[in-house]
Structure 1
Amino acid sequence: MTALTEDRNTPQRSGDNRNFPVKGATTLFAGSMAAIDTTGMLVPAGATATLKIVGRNERRVVNAGADGSVRADVKTGVFRFGNSASTDAITLADVGSSCYAVDDQTVAKTSNSSARPVAGTIFDVDDDGVWVKFS
């Protein structure tokens, strides 16, 4: 492409709402962390290094059919999830660092030797869990 020589109507998206095709034979629960697998299909987040966490799933979605026959809404922002335990528990000292998906509702301080995908950035920590920023 060449540089503009006149005004351009450039489309815009807010960036906090997304919609993805869901992997076949998959259930995603409302409020869960959702991820894209290596085929580009939405799946529940988990401790699989090749997953890319994309945000919070907005409603329960059941895809009993083929890959992509159902779509799901996912939202970015800051959401609270469960904190891991023991030496993988996240503390206030970890705010600003990356956290890693253990499952679709729990985050941990470490990648477990690169076995877990990055879930997002630790925004805050309270007695009820870890606030994770998805972008």
Structure 2
Amino acid sequence: MTALINDRNTRTRNGDQKEPPVAANARIFGGSLVAINAAGFAVPGSTAVGIAGCGCAEAHADNTGGAAGAIRVRVSVRPSQFTNSGATDAITLADIGKDCFIVDDQTVAKTDGAGTRSRAGRVFDVDADGVWVDFR
């Protein structure tokens, strides 16, 4: 490819959303924490290694019985609120700006559970209702 000599119509996207393809047989609920597996497909958040937090599902996506990539799920990467983990692994105000880890598709924790959990995102805020996770 050579350098431009004229203007170029470069496509752009809103950086607040993604639409990753959904893994085979995966069912993702609206409002749930979505992760990307090692193959690059969206899966529900779970205690697992080898996945990475992607964002919050904006709608239900049911790929039960479908092949990997047969459908896509719209995901927000803006700060989204999830349930705080229990007692000793609870996230506090002191954790703002630090990584948090996926427990399930609605819960995040302070630690990686001795190497059993993948990163969800960065703690944006903590309030009485839960943990705000930023996926950007």
Q: Which residue of 1 aligns with 2:68?
A: 67
1:16-40 deviation line (CA, Å, top 9, x unaligned): 1111211122211000010111121
Q: Name the SS of the counterpart of 1:87 in structure 2.
A: helix
1:87-132 deviation line (CA, Å, top 9, x unaligned): 1100001111111111110010011122211111111111110011
Q: Name the SS of the counterpart of 1:66 in structure 2.
A: coil
Gaps of 5+ in 2: none
- Following the alignment from structure 2 to structure 1, what is the Cα–Cα distance between the partners of residues 12 and 69? 25
TM-score normalised over the length of structure 1: 0.92
Q: Which residue of 2 aligns with 1:117?
A: 118
1:29-65 deviation line (CA, Å, top 9, x unaligned): 0000101111211110111120011101111111122
Amino acid at match of 1:115: T
- Following the alignment from structure 1 to structure 2, what is the Cα–Cα distance between the partners of residues 93 and 43? 30
TM-score normalised over the length of structure 2: 0.92
Determine if the alignment matches structure 1 residue 33 to structure 2 residue 33.
Answer: yes
Question: Following TM superposition, where does structure 1 have runs of at least 4 consecutive aligned residues deviating by more than 2 angstroms?
Answer: 1-10
Q: Which residue of 2 aligns with 1:94?
A: 95
| Percent identity (aligned) | 47
What is the number of residues matched between the two proteins?
A: 135
Amino acid at match of 2:70: S
Determine if the alignment matches structure 1 residue 84 to structure 2 residue 85.
Answer: yes
- Following the alignment from structure 1 to structure 2, what is the Cα–Cα distance between the partners of residues 11 and 2? 19
- Following the alignment from structure 2 to structure 1, what is the Cα–Cα distance between the partners of residues 2 and 48? 41
Amino acid at match of 1:50: G
